Structure 1
Amino acid sequence: MLACWTAPALFVAGVSRQSTLPSDTLFGRWMHATGWAGPLVVLGFAGTWALPLLTSVVAGDVFASEDRLGTWRHLLVAVRSPRRIFVAKALAGLTVIMLLVAGLACSGTAGGLLAVGDHPLVGLDGHLLAPGTAAGRVLLAWSCVLAPTLALAGIGLLGSVALGRSPMGLLLPALVALGTQVAQMLPLPVAVRLALPGYAFTAWNGLFTSPAQTGPLLIGVVVGLAWGLLATALAYLLFLRRDFTGPADDGSGRRALTAGLLPLTALLAATTLILTQAAGAPATGSGIERNKVQRSLATAFAHLYRMQTSQLHRPAVTEAQLRATAACDKSDGRADPEGAGNDWRCVVTWYLPGVTAPGRAVYQLDITADGRYVADGDGPKEVNGYFLVRTPAGDAPNPLWQFDGNVELLATTSKG
């Protein structure tokens, strides 16, 4: 608990003071610019590593510890109600997990604000979020990842009850989280990707675009809660049917498969079918298409071009005046322009008021299977070919040199 409430603040404050930033981490490249980037960097790390491990330590051991110590019969004599024991242990584990998550969020936020300050945050489409808006989005992002965390907690309770003294019960939430992370890296259909319990660990990215890409995030939250409720209910039923009179019975056995794995597999299949039929998630394909990539890149470029214009003290220009568009292909046109990969190449075209000839800039895109991409500038040098720009106040980071973006896997929210 102490580590969760102190370590993120120290990490964020320390990294924000360094000359080298974790630019390969989402929002890591903005840790010098605003304190609101810090809690988002912590959130990305927590969703991948910290929260699965914490739920394993707490929920995965809350029942198994009684099996290792052989104290079930003593506990039943004292309490006499298996239902009350289950509810008390489940609520105790939930309370600890909520306090750990709150510690990570508050600590990371405090470290960022104290080290850098309350400044606007650059979103994933290049637009600036005012400090108040950024604070609300950060809070909402941390709130949304509670759903997949509760899903892992329910799986931890199920493993702790069903597997007893076996160490697999303790490791089950972490293994499930690792499996879903590996699955998210694979070219899975969108419907299957959305049906996985940990999708909200990455879907919060959509909160930092304009308009917000809330569709996939809402689906991820609902799916995470459904997994958590089902896994907890299965753990409850297994616990009530347990024979506590025999010391050799530790809860493990064939029912761990029949009463645990099979219902969760059925939930995954049913959710995939529902998403395919009702939510418009395609049953095949990655959801990453050329039109979506071009629209996302052009929007982000237009926002960031305005930022660069302000840095250089040039005449202000609006996104409508720029009329930025992008033309992208994959593998130099030798592959279908869809799906993840680091072989996307795009040319952005824009116009300036009073100038007849359009401007053009080249970008190399590395798009991951979940829709996140890094756009790496490839010239011209004065626009995006160098990581610094020379401003009247001195050299400053070039916002157009390299930036993060997000492609919505479902139908795009904005058609502009």
Structure 2
Amino acid sequence: MTATTVDDRAPAAPRVPVARGYRFELVKLVAQWRIRLLVLACWIVPALFVAAVSRQSTLPTDTLFGRWMHATGWAGPLVVLGFAGTWALPLLTSVVAGDVFASEDRLGTWRHLLVAVRSPRRIFAAKALASLTVILLLVSGLACSSTAGGLLAVGNRPLAGLDGHLLTPSDAAGKVLLAWVCALAPTLALAGIGLLGSVALGRSPMGLLLPAVVALALQLAQMLPLPVAVRLALPGYAFIAWNGLFTRPAQLGPLLIGVAVALVWALVATALAHLLFVRRDFTNPAYDGSGRRAITTGLLPPAALVALTVTVVAVATPSMGSGIEQDKVQRSVATAFAHLYRLQTRQLNRPDVTEAQLRATAACDKGAGQLAATGPGNDWRCVVSWHLPGVEATGTAVYQLDITSDGRFVADGDGPKEVNGYFLLRTPNGDAPNPLWQFDGNVDLLSTTAKG
């Protein structure tokens, strides 16, 4: 009896602090060869890619800012950001966050970890923080490496925005940095989904693939003619909405909504993963997912979150349509043309004119006037008109437009050749294509009133 009494009164061993568990989990992650390889690739490959492409005669003009990679080093990190948001970041979050819990199931090491830490909550916090640290390291590598490659290969030069105005190198640097920071929000949302899949699906490979599968589904949804409210309510929209930073004034509405929605998704998915993890039965060595609980706790709340965010955004935004309307397209095309006309004028060493003097306007229709001038499509046609000081005749130029569902458009010059045809201009940095030949633009899906 005496021995039993002494054992009962023996103090319990203290739990391992979260900071110590975090260091342990971080070392475990970094010790994996695939994580080391990813870190090395993210810090080296983007610089080599941007430097190589910037020196090629053919540029990725189908990628946003790709046509400016010869002109400025700040275009490179934006091209890499567009690729990363589509492919690289979803795959990185899958490898890191999607496997951080499932790896313990495959190795059968939960009992050892619980004996050492003695707190499922602390284990979850340590693993989540370690995953977040590695993901931030990978994203930082992509941003820093691509920027260094662009600046070293091309130089610190002005960047043309999506409305044609030139950003000084310092302005371009700030906006590029802000664009990468905004892309962290949907990355964290995918990381939270990865944690949820890793916890809910156990050793199943679907847990590892869940962030990539969700990202692919979101990309396919963005290609559909969805209402603006539904489009903005999806957690991956901030991968696209950073485009609005490169217009004047900046199109901040869609970006702020996209970032807010992504952060809410990150918090909800992480909270659901934590709830499933702390309720798990670790005594079952054959555990292979949470079964019915994975559906009720892991699937239904995200579905309800989609409905909630769509409702909130629908109430907060002025339109449930496509957001692509005739007057918006005309304003965007006319504004970009006026800015790029001034750039062409400087490159041709002609007398400078201002946007106010040009008084550029655009008249756009869709389907040769046979269709309603609204919504995405590659059958938009715009006739731009402008005036030069001291010249009575009005100048005109024709553009064919391809507008995607997210508001991005590519304007392709269709004459007259001396205005928007293809020819090379001699600039201080070398020969460059006529800036009025082809240019990218962005329609603000939320704007409702004309801007002066």
- Range class of TM-score, shorter chain: over 0.9
Q: Secondary structure at the match of 2:411?
A: strand
CA distance in 2 between counterparts of 1:413 and 1:127 reads 21
Closer/same/farther in 2, CA of residues 229 and 182 from structure 1, 3 Å limit? same
How far does the alpha carbon of each residue in 1:223-258 deviate from its partner, in whole angstroms, 9 at most, with x for none?
000000000000000000000011122333122111
8 A Cα contact 1:286 1:409, kept in partner: yes
Of 287, 290, 301 in structure 2, the residue corresponding to residue 249 of structure 1 is: 287
8 A Cα contact 1:373 1:405, kept in partner: yes
CA distance in 2 between counterparts of 1:414 and 1:390 reads 36
Which deviates more from structure 2 when the two are superposed, residues 136-145 or residues 69-78? Answer: 69-78
Q: Note the C-alpha offset of 1:393.
A: 10
Matched, 1:150 2:181: no
Matched, 1:375 2:448: no
CA distance in 1 between counterparts of 2:427 and 2:131 reads 54
Matched, 1:108 2:133: no
1:316 is matched with which residue?
352
8 A Cα contact 2:421 2:434, kept in partner: no
8 A Cα contact 1:16 1:31, kept in partner: yes
Matched, 1:388 2:424: yes
Q: Secondary structure at the match of 2:441?
A: strand
Q: Supply the AA of the counterpart residue of 2:203.
A: R
1:231 is matched with which residue?
269
2:368 is matched with which residue?
332
2:16 is matched with which residue?
none
How far does the alpha carbon of each residue in 1:78-106 deviate from its partner, in whole angstroms, 9 at most, with x for none?
11100110000000000000000000000
1:403 is matched with which residue?
439
Q: Secondary structure at the match of 1:316?
A: coil
Q: Note the C-alpha offset of 1:412.
A: 5.3
Q: Note the C-alpha offset of 1:263.
A: 0.5
Closer/same/farther in 2, CA of residues 251 and 159 from structure 1, 3 Å limit? same
Matched, 1:66 2:98: no
Give the 5 Å matches for 1:12-411: 12-280=50-318, 282-283=319-320, 285-389=321-425, 396-411=432-447
Q: Secondary structure at the match of 1:191?
A: helix
Q: What stretches of structure 2 of length at least 5 have no aligned partner?
A: 1-38
8 A Cα contact 2:47 2:145, kept in partner: yes
Q: Supply the AA of the counterpart residue of 1:322.
A: L
8 A Cα contact 1:386 1:398, kept in partner: yes
Q: Note the C-alpha offset of 1:162.
A: 0.2
How far does the alpha carbon of each residue in 1:267-311 deviate from its partner, in whole angstroms, 9 at most, with x for none?
11111111111233x23x210000000000000000000001111
CA distance in 2 between counterparts of 1:393 and 1:10 reads 21
Q: Secondary structure at the match of 1:273?
A: helix
Q: What stretches of structure 1 of length at least 5 have no aligned partner?
A: none
8 A Cα contact 2:362 2:382, kept in partner: yes
8 A Cα contact 1:242 1:251, kept in partner: no
8 A Cα contact 1:312 1:392, kept in partner: no
Q: Supply the AA of the counterpart residue of 1:219.
A: I
8 A Cα contact 2:204 2:289, kept in partner: no
Closer/same/farther in 2, CA of residues 80 and 396 from structure 1, 3 Å limit? closer
Q: Secondary structure at the match of 1:363?
A: strand
Q: Supply the AA of the counterpart residue of 1:85.
A: I
8 A Cα contact 2:422 2:433, kept in partner: no
CA distance in 2 between counterparts of 1:171 and 1:406 reads 32
> Runs ≥4 in structure 1, deviation > 4 angstroms?
389-395
8 A Cα contact 2:71 2:429, kept in partner: no
Of structures 1 and 2, the larger Rg is shown by 2
RMSD: 1.4
| TM-score normalized by the length of structure 1 | 0.98
CA distance in 2 between counterparts of 1:136 and 1:101 reads 17
Q: Note the C-alpha offset of 1:386.
A: 1.9
Q: Supply the AA of the counterpart residue of 2:363.
A: A
| TM-score normalized by the length of structure 2 | 0.90
Percent identity among equivalent residues?
81
Q: Supply the AA of the counterpart residue of 1:28.
A: G
2:24 is matched with which residue?
none
8 A Cα contact 1:211 1:414, kept in partner: no
Closer/same/farther in 2, CA of residues 99 and 409 from structure 1, 3 Å limit? same
CA distance in 2 between counterparts of 1:231 and 1:256 reads 12
User: How many residues of Structure 1 are paired with residues of Structure 2 in the alignment?
Assistant: 414
CA distance in 2 between counterparts of 1:324 and 1:291 reads 14
Closer/same/farther in 2, CA of residues 393 and 272 from structure 1, 3 Å limit? closer
CA distance in 1 between counterparts of 2:208 and 2:356 reads 55
